[in-house]
Amino acid sequence: MSVDALSRTKFLKTIATGAIFVASSPIKPAMAAKYGAVGRGSPNVLDPKEAIVDQDILASDSVQKSLGEIKLYAKAVAAIKAELLKNPQADIEPYIRKNFDFSILRASLNNINSVFDEDTQRGTDRIIRIIIQDVNEIEVNSRLKEGIPRSEKRLVLINGKLSKLEKAFKDFLAFA
């Protein structure tokens, strides 16, 4: 037997022994350390109760108008969900285009965001990005091709995005 063959045999035995050891070891879940608030919840999103809000800016007409607009957007999301519940093949894209103008939505969100201090804005900015992204994804995924019904998979995706969007609006409004 050559030296190369002996080394190969020894190597294979070592691998087999290691595999048997690993297979016979009890499986334990990984435990990550938690230090205070680190590793819990969404990063950079404060509790709305801890938000620092400039009450004078919040009371301004422009911010109050924006708050009203955001509440209407939240109601529009609920209306879309209700429509899809009644008719899973409903063409909601025109409704989304009509009721979710990105420039107005972003301006309203940013206007409200101006009432918060810098630390709070770090978290609310994240929620704003989620809202904008979800509206865009709902619009893209809601398109119906003529003569082709919406698949169950796509319907689940749209409803999931609508629920996420509904929560994001609720979370954002909790700060104000």
Instruction: Give the predicted TM-score (pTM) of the model.
Output: 0.71
Q: Does 105 reside within a domain?
A: yes
More confident position, 152 or 13: 152
Distance CA 121, CA 105 (A): 17
Distance CA 89, CA 22 (A): 51
- CB-based contact 113:143 (threshold 8 Å): no
pLDDT class of 75 with cuts at 50, 70, 90: very high
Range(s) of the domain holding residue 66: 48-175
Please report which helix (H) or strand (E) contains residue 33, including its range. Answer: none
More confident position, 41 or 62: 62
Q: Does 17 reside within a domain?
A: no
Lookup: tokens for 46: 């404060």
Q: Does 143 reside within a domain?
A: yes
What would the pLDDT profile of 82-114 be if each residue is shown by its tens digit? 999 999 999 998 889 888 988 999 999 999 999
Q: What integer best gives the mean pLDDT of the chain?
A: 84
pLDDT class of 39 with cuts at 50, 70, 90: very low
Q: Return the CATH number at 66.
A: 1.20.120.290
User: Per the structure, how many domains does the chain have?
Assistant: 1
Give the single-character DSSP code of 100. Answer: -
pLDDT class of 62 with cuts at 50, 70, 90: very high
